[in-house]
Amino acid sequence: MTGALAGLRVLDLSQMMAGPFCTMMLADQGADVIKIEPPDGEATRVFGPHFDDDETREYGGYFKSINRGKRSIRIDLKSDAGKAAFRRLVETADVVIENFRAGVMDRLDLGYESLAAINPKLVYAAIRGFGDPRTGESPYQDWPAYDIVAQAMGGIMQVTGEPDGAPTKIGPGVGDTIPAMMTAFGIVSAVLHARATGEGQFLDVAMVDGIFAVCERAAMVYSYRGEVSGRDGNHHPLFAPFGTFPCKDGWVAIGCPRDHFWQLLSAAMGRPELGDDPRYRENAGRTARRDEVVALVTAWTETQTKAEIAEAIGGRVPFGPVNTVEDLFDDPHLAARDMLADVPHAGSSRTARIANTPIRMTRTQGGVTGPAPKAGEHTDAVLKEAGLTDEEIAALREAGGVT
């Protein structure tokens, strides 16, 4: 590993999306992420899609995309032998992360306080739907939460969708990935503190909190005006034009947050007089007449293709085509930025193309380092690195602690 986090050891007990996405980010930057799986492996290994020639089905695309570059060990944390093995790993770890419901690890006698007694420098991170009582007890803390719940309760669905339509879920699982990114930031922050002071700590991110935190405009408007933000569809309440517009072969996004962009767009549309029209010259007037402005721009875009609009305003007015994933796989920008990684897939002769890290660094560049692990693939190696002998590992296996 040569990334900026090389040498950082992370014990990853998390499952599903939020926790594994967080540790994926750490692994991409060079951290040694050890995925602690139950005896039968993490349940998401069976999630598709699968390649047609994959007969072993070690994992599908869901698991592979967010568990790439990690190592796997299977431990039965419900057994005394498994707990003992895990505690040995904690002795040399920098980070433990989990996303169980509050209290699960405490009932196993593997909660933060128990592990911190073993390793005072340990950073213990948790992602839960409504947080952990250690940092603020929520009345909802025992509720199960997934992406859709976090999006709904965090406020982002209320401001997403068409004005007269229903609250709309954002397509990708941001209820998981946004808290995951915030947790990764929290972990790195806490590790810096631990290395400077020798003091570890507990940290957590509630999924609902993470979503609320990125709804900054809604909170600001309510705080300043007492107004509850509604749904603006694909347009903006403070700027016009600023949204998506139909064209001959799809849709494009155009934004004019500054007045000179409107003048450039008007000229490109063949309507230069609109740039100096007192009704539209300034953003305040355009916003007050948003429907008129949208209609004016739409009348032009509908007669053009994406390529023709790019030729007319690309690089001069904020603009971009609304891409499909097929478009993106062929996009020269992603190729130039090394944003697609080809990774082998266990059990298949084919390679999978997955999203690479978007973090670009000049000295410690990270990125996808390899495929997702088979369940328990690295059990012996990880235990030996923690100081266990072959005899001790064999005894743990005999006792059902590890597989």
Among residues 94, 147, 176, 232, the one annotated as catalytic is 176
Determine whether 19 is exposed, middle or buried from the number of CB atoms within 10 Å of its CB (0-12, 13-18, 19+): buried
* Distance between CA atoms of residues 210 and 145, nearest Å: 13
What is the Cα–Cα distance from 20 to 188, expressed in whole angstroms?
16
C-alpha to C-alpha distance for 13 and 376, rounded to whole angstroms = 13
Are 134 and 113 contacting, i.e. CB atoms less than 8 angstroms apart? no
C-beta of residue 61 within 8 angstroms of C-beta of residue 348: no
> Is 176 an annotated catalytic residue?
yes
3-class secondary structure, 115: helix
On whether the CB atoms of residues 400 and 76 are closer than 8 A, the answer is: yes
Tokens of 348: 């298949």
The sheet with strand 319-321 has its strands ordered as 242-247, 250-255, 319-321
CA–CA separation, 205 and 203 (whole Å): 7
> 80 φ, ψ to 5°?
-65, -40
Active site residues: 176
